[in-house]
Amino acid sequence: MSSHATNGTYTVAVERDFTARHFLVGGDWGPENDPHHHDYKVEVLVEGRGLDRHGYLVDIVDLEAALDDLVARFRNSTLNELPEFQGLNPSIEHFCRIICQSLRERLHGDNLSALSVKIWESTIAWASFRQEVI
C-alpha cells in the first residue's frame, strides 16, 4: 500500500447510460416475459484505502475505458442472446454481477479493495453487486 494510506476509504465512480433489451424467463411476470427494452444506467464504484504515487486510487481514464468497452458490448443487444446470460434469467441482479466481475478482470491497481456495480433499469428500480478485491 502506498504511503498515502488512511483510516478511511477512497471511492471513485463513473457512470454510463445505454439501452438494451431482454425478456424474463422461468416465471409469470406478465409483460416482462415479452421482449422489451430498458434505458439502463450503470454506475461503477471502486474503493481503496490508499493512493498510488500520482494520488490516484485508479486511473479514471482506464476505468472509463473498461466500462465503455462493456457498455458497447451490451448496448442495443438482447441480453438473453449473450453467452454471459446463458441459462440465467437476465435480471438486473445478474447483470450487476456480470459487469462487476468483467470489470475486475480489466482493472489494475494495488490499492483497490472493492468494486461495486449499480444498475438502474428505470428511474425508481436498481440493483447492485459488490465484490471484495483480494
Q: What percent of the chain has pLDDT over 90?
A: 90
Q: Is the pLDDT of residue 3 over 70?
A: no
* Average pLDDT of the residues in 46-56: 93
Cell numbers found for residue 106: 480489466
> Which helix (H) or strand (E) is 9 found in, with range?
none
Distance CA 18, CA 6 (A): 36
pLDDT per residue over 62-78, tens digit each?
999 999 999 999 999 99
- Do residues 72 and 19 make contact, with C-beta atoms less than 8 angstroms apart? no
What is the average per-residue pLDDT within 13-27? 96
Q: Mean of the per-residue pLDDT values for the chain?
A: 93
User: Which residues 6+ apart lie within 8 Å of 114 measured at CB?
Assistant: 46, 47, 48, 130, 131, 132, 133
Residue 48 lies inside a defined structural domain of this protein: yes
CATH number at residue 119: 3.30.479.10
Query: Does residue 2 fall inside a structural domain?
Result: no
Mean pLDDT over residues 27-44, rounded? 96
- pLDDT at 44 (0 to 100): 98
Place of cell 473498461: 66
Cell of 85: 446470460
3, part of any domain:
no
How many domains are there within the chain?
1
Give the ranges where the chain is alpha helix by DSSP (H): 60-74, 92-106
- Domain-embedded: residue 74: yes
The pLDDT score that the predictor gives to residue 110 is: 84
**Domain around 102:** 10-132
User: Is 1 contained in some domain?
Assistant: no
Instruction: Please name the residue ranges forming H helices in 75-127.
Output: 92-106
**Domain presence at residue 69:** yes
Distance CA 103, CA 101 (A): 5
Residue 5 in any domain: the answer is: no
Residue 82 predicted with pLDDT over 70: yes
pLDDT at 5: 55
Q: Is residue 4 part of a domain?
A: no
